[in-house]
Structure 1
């Protein structure tokens, strides 16, 4: 189903200039490899492990000079990678890596820092909604990106229909105004802000805990860098995994300081509760990461996701799933 694809290579060249921060020529410290890493949104706790690795020197000690390029509504990470404007980037969900593979863009996922996608559906309490299945027929506020991502899985598993979709503009006012309406969110963000700002303790359903197989916060790297400097790619993955472990279980203050410097609108209480949610739900170190380490991916998980998407017509049956990722760089050394 072509309309469901997020990325169209034919549009890349025209769009890159509009969203690219421009690749600056940077002279790294002697002996270090420069990696400009683009995130998928403004700095937040959901990026904390990367900021921790930067602040604590984990990248530097492995010979890397890393610059984190903050994302936002005008930044498209796949386009930046396809154009060579950045050296690595963050993949929000598994659709992104498969889109790149389907369109023949030589970029691969080399690690998944989030074993569970933090996407949730949020509903009002006392409405008889006790599971995702109960939301069938209810209006749901969704962003355009979500319609071409996890909505595909919701339709496949629960029989949801497109007439339930309402436009979500990252403003919860329509949700608060109508108790029958549900909305999308991150388990680490919207439930907390709704409770804090509106005094509402909503029903929260984590898609991953209901079978949604997408990875999140993946590290995407061009094939050219993998071929040219696989040691640098491995070093970036290992340092990021260590950063995530330390952000969750060590001292997060250095990372939080960098996050709030990049994104002054971010509050400390939002960072603190998000970190606690990531620990509680096993977002980073749950699933396969319990035994195989932070960042791990598996062929079985990728096949499960691809089969779901193919069954819904998102991709053709001929899709070569293994062009979307490589297991070469995931490491079991950090848990």
Structure 2
């Protein structure tokens, strides 16, 4: 049995293929009843009115509720009921990635060797090594898309200002005039360019979107190595050996990726509004070489106890799944402990 420190997994996670919806639309509703900003028209305000009468430019058909509306040479009116909705959007999309460090995995290990006696305690010969290892890596909650949309709803108040220069308006309020009476003649239209709209924020609605990605990789590797080994025996019980050779690695893998698009409105619970998934299965043949050092103790004529330290250098495994690329570093050290049988 050997314990291998291999399998550093690296994922380059591509951007999810989602389209973020748009929930809000900008809109505007005019302040009702106040007519156009210029020209004669019947205008009804929250605190009064101005309506044309038989005269062409002035009228006595007006009314106001408070003396505060009269300021010097002007008479002002306000009206509410307008609405404006403004929508702002922002979004970011960027690939991400993750790495999982090499793991210590237990790997069944079998070595067959043939040794020819070279004299003076030395022997040498070919060797065959077979091993198996499982490597796994996964990550949850990855993110490549973030977007937001905010709709601000404003209440709109309009203010119109009329020129009353030289006029002495009645001070009894509320004042209500009528057409064609004896009273100060007020212009039947506001001062040109005087209309002012005042927005007051009523509500803000916010929608958030983000994706969440889960990825995983399951990998089985078989290694078949062919090499040569030289051994030195001393004190009739102990032996040490060095070996090297080439390794043929067969990797069988399955990669999976699942994506979800989440939507959250006004701090409510996130809701899944779209999803997708992908998986990919493949096999690869990867070449490498190894170096190994061993030490053993002869228990009896047939059985021995052996420990070994080995380094494998192997081609990296590369693959893809659902817009993501991955690679696995299969190089690394291993340490083993086992029983040997000689015949």
TM-score category by the smaller chain?
under 0.3
Give the TM-score normalised by the residue count of structure 2: 0.16
Which has a greater percent of helix? 1
Q: Which has the larger radius of gyration?
A: 2
Which has a greater percent of strand? 2
Give the TM-score normalised by the residue count of structure 1: 0.17
